[in-house]
Structure 1
Amino acid sequence: MLNLFVAAAHVRRRVERVCRKYDLQFSHHNVLRILRGVHPNGHPRSEIVERMLDPSPDVTRLIDKLVDRGLVRRSTSEEDRRMTMHTITDEGLDLLNDMDPEIRDVQRWFD
């Protein structure tokens, strides 16, 4: 079991290194990948929190930074105007596409 935790920590450090090259935190990358998975639709904040690998207590702040960078768009839900939806922008998709080869290099360890 310890080996699994050590391996997971090593993989996370490698992914964090890739994220830093793109001026992202690991949690920002996680949010972007969650939103890419449902593109062109989006998720409310609560759904993003449920799907995160490492849920942060301050997901709103994480999303705010992504919105400020133009990587995520915030809008009012058409079904429930009380709910805010978050979708990945074309810029967010482009950033993830740029990162994908380096992330895949890390994933190859498990092939």
Structure 2
Amino acid sequence: MKIEDEIKQKKFINAHQKAVINLVYTVNWMQGKHQQVFKSFNITAQQFNILRILKGQHPNSTSATEIKARMLDKNSDVSRLLDRLVAKNVIVKKACPTDKRAFDVNLTDAGLELLRTLDKKQSELDNILNLSEEEAYQLSDLLDKSRG
């Protein structure tokens, strides 16, 4: 559906305004679709992001600082998110042996199993935009370009 129909607005100042509004609307729409998938697993998109970061480092541990640097949502409260994931028994936090103020974070077996289950939903998450592979590459290139 066209953005004009979605937000019931026919006029835009220019093509750039329309594109920005369309991008913001689409990001929010996409996050809602993702959240529907994550809700059935009792996690949030930010928690999923942390689990994926940890999976990329597994079996090595990662610091909370490194996780924060790699998060998609830079405004996330990583300490709170980690505590919630600990409570769900999908990660463990251990005091860093070289810096007592820092924590090393690892996936648990339950966390790995949760990610294996979510892997089965990955194509659903990836194809949410309903684009061909070529269109997805084009969109990604345009988004990279827009960030400078």
- Unpaired runs of 5+ residues, structure 1, are none
Q: Which structure has the bigger radius of gyration?
A: 2
- Unpaired runs of 5+ residues, structure 2, are 1-18, 134-148
Q: Aligned partners of 1:96, 1:55: CA distance in 2, in Å? A: 22
TM-score computed with the length of structure 2 as normaliser = 0.66
Provide the residue aligned with 1:19 in structure 2.
Answer: 38
Tell me: higher relative CO, structure 1 or 2? Use CA pairs within 8 A at least 6 residues apart: 1
Provide the residue aligned with 2:70 in structure 1.
Answer: 51
Q: Aligned partners of 1:24, 1:56: CA distance in 2, in Å? A: 18
CA contact (8 A) 1:74 1:86 kept: yes
What per-residue deviation string (whole Å, max 9, x for no partner) do you get for residues 6-57 of structure 1? 3322222111111100111111111111111111112111111111111245
Specify which of 90, 101, 108 is matched with residue 71 of structure 1: 90
Aligned residue identity for 2:81: L
Provide the residue aligned with 1:37 in structure 2.
Answer: 56
Instruction: Give the superposed CA RMSD.
Output: 1.8
Provide the residue aligned with 1:96 in structure 2.
Answer: 115
- What is the SS of the residue equivalent to 1:16? helix
TM-score computed with the length of structure 1 as normaliser = 0.86
Q: What's the % identity of the aligned pairs? A: 31
- What is the SS of the residue equivalent to 1:32? helix
